Amino acid sequence: MYKILVSIALICLFVSLLRKPRKMKLYNLSKQFRKNTIFTKLDKIISKSKYFNKMKEEYISKLQLINFKSYEFNNELILKYVVIDAVVSLFILIILLRLITMWSAVIIISIAFFYLTIKLVESIVDYQIIKIHRQFPAALQCFLNEYIINKNIKNAINNSYYKMPKKIGGAFEMLARELSGEKKYENAIKKFANKLSYVWGHSFAEILIMSYKGTGDITEELMTLNRLVSEEITAEEEEKSSKFANKFTFIFVYVVTIIGVIINLKENDLSVYLYFYTRTGNALIVAWLVILIVRITYTSLTERGR
């Protein structure tokens, strides 16, 4: 009987939809989706926190520099990833509740998974930004060569951005478009510097603004900046070798630990019981994850502060 009622209800719904104009139907569905979407609600929740909203805006700018997509596209991309990560973490939570007896350990592991996957994507984005920053000296040299000839900022950018490395050349191309269509040159240059998010990019922007404000020829300032950037790169390479050694040691220790645990679980049936079905084993897993999170957070904060 209930099947007949459901069939009748579906037929009535289908007929009622056919009677409405198609464009109006699609518009109403789209409008309702935008209002009720989980992404909109999540965006509002994030906006209430200054810290998380600032972080979101920062990574939107970074993604714009990487993929040259709109603010709206990258904002939705971040929200989608957070939702997917949350769903996967919840799925892991449900599975682990059947394996691990200590419910607090299950919650911590699920939160740790959510956090670590967020940090993983952050690291990937930051690495792409670092690659763009490494191209800045070559881009600056291309601009300087053209500026010495033209003595005009707009012409120098228009004639140099396609000669620059691809990624950073795209950022300079965006600046060229902004300057050609923007009456307020200062806004366009500051927008470029904020998206680039690089200390020497801000210095470069200040030199351009100085020229527009009446300083005139900025060849000497650009040559000084070029020299300082080159010196910093040499110092950075030495520092990176030391950082790499520390990171490699940290990663190596954790990889060896994971391999050891997996082998132990495979070869010793008792270890499965000890790790998953006793409070001591659960506590060991949680402690390992907490140490991992603290280390990653500390490294992230120290690198962000530099």
Q: Which residue has the tokens 């409008």?
A: 31
d(CA 78, CA 73): 9
Sign of CA dihedral 195, 196, 201, 207: negative
Token pair for 137:
């000296």
Q: Which residues contact 141 (CB under 8 A, 6 or more apart)?
A: 226
pLDDT truncated to tens, each residue of the chain (306 aa)? 434 443 444 445 444 544 444 443 444 444 444 445 777 888 888 888 888 898 899 899 889 889 888 888 999 899 999 999 999 999 988 888 887 777 877 888 888 889 888 888 888 888 888 888 888 999 999 999 999 998 889 999 999 999 999 889 988 998 998 888 756 788 889 989 988 888 899 999 999 999 888 878 899 999 999 988 887 776 665 565 566 566 667 767 777 777 777 787 777 777 777 777 788 888 888 888 888 788 777 776 666 555
